[in-house]
């Protein structure tokens, strides 16, 4: 007996379903074998699919995650503010096109581990072109982002002391000048160096000299506010930026404190080393209204202190009788 057309149609449907099932399994196998995480949602924002990498990074297994809202499974925050990051899949559906998280986004997994991630999201369309959901592909970039931050830190900080370097000081000084101008405040720039430092290097070597510089740096930081900046310019030269002073005389108080503290010797290994400092001070706006002028005038004041024997501080333009720790 020949098969009817209905029987043939039934067989065709079964074969088609089997083919679709095989295609679906093949697609899932493919997505599970790639190195990026893949997450899909429907139009309501509920999870419809996680691949193996997404399971590992989120801490959710596929069967448990499916049907849950995207925000419940993927806890995304801004890396700096820690505020909740916008849902890139919802954005892709809303604007009917590609979307992405901000560059500093972080995924907080179910088990608490954090991943710096980069992603792309796009709407999913059916065969008729209708948007039926969205897909997000993302990857762990924690190592790359950490390396980038390390390189940025090295570009702006002194390798020996960890203090801001000349580049970062100039940026902060320009910003502080702008702020002082807006709020009609003063600021002070202190240029200082260590008296007799060359003798330490020559007699005890650069290793001991470096340890002494690190000790001096720590002591300087302890003498100023958290809003101030201590910078190493190179060699035994440091610059201290005192931000938004109520009165220029406040700079003299800080300078006196630094000079006094510097007269206590530093314990470097078996050596008890002196490291008295000389300080030249320039005040905004009376001694300059830009970074270069203030630094130059503070340096000139420092040279005047050194010429008088060192171990003291002096304001730019002050007569010799006005110098000293007072």
Distance CA 289, CA 234 (A): 24
Strand partners, 207: none
Q: Which of 236, 250, 290, 299 is catalytic?
A: 236
* Partners of residue 38 on adjacent β-strands: 137
If one counts every other C-beta atom within 10 angstroms of the C-beta of residue 20, the result is 10
Closest C-alpha to 282, from 200, 126, 127, 173: 173
What are the angstrom distances between the C-alpha of 90 and each of 24, 66, 95, 129, 136?
25, 17, 9, 18, 10
Has 236 been annotated as catalytic? yes
The closest of 277, 262, 279, 276 to 315, measured between CA atoms, is: 279
- Strands 37-42 and 131-140, bridge-based pairing: antiparallel
Residues annotated as catalytic are: 236
């Amino acid at each position: 007996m020949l098969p009817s057309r209905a029987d043939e149609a039934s067989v065709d449907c079964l074969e088609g379903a089997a083919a679709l099932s095989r295609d679906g399994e093949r697609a899932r196998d493919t997505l599970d074998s790639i190195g990026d995480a893949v997450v899909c949602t429907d139009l309501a924002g509920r999870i419809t699919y996680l691949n193996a990498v997404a399971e590992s990074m989120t801490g959710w297994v596929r069967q448990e995650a499916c049907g849950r809202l995207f925000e419940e499974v993927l806890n995304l925050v801004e890396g700096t503010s820690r505020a909740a990051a916008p849902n890139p899949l919802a954005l892709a559906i809303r604007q009917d096109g590609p979307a992405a998280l901000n560059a500093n986004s972080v995924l907080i997994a179910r088990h608490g581990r954090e991943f710096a991630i980069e992603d792309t999201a796009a709407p999913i369309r059916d065969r008729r072109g209708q948007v039926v959901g969205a897909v997000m592909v993302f990857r762990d970039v924690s190592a790359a982002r950490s390396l980038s931050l390390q390189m940025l830190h090295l570009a702006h900080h002194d390798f020996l002391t960890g203090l801001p370097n000349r580049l970062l000081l100039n940026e902060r000084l320009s910003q502080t000048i702008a702020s002082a101008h807006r709020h009609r405040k003063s600021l002070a720039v202190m240029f200082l160096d260590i008296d007799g430092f060359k003798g330490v290097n020559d007699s005890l070597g650069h290793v001991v000299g470096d340890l002494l510089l690190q000790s001096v740096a720590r002591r300087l930081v302890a003498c100023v506010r958290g809003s101030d900046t201590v910078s190493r310019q190179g060699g035994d030269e440091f610059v201290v930026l005192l931000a938004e002073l109520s009165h220029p005389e406040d700079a003299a108080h800080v300078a006196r404190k630094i000079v006094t503290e510097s007269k206590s010797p530093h314990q470097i290994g078996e050596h008890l080393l002196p490291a008295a400092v000389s300080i030249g001070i320039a005040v905004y706006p009376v001694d300059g209204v830009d970074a270069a002028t203030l630094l130059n005038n503070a340096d000139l004041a420092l040279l005047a202190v050194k010429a008088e024997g060192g171990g003291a501080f002096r304001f730019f333009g002050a007569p010799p009788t006005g110098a000293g720790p007072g």
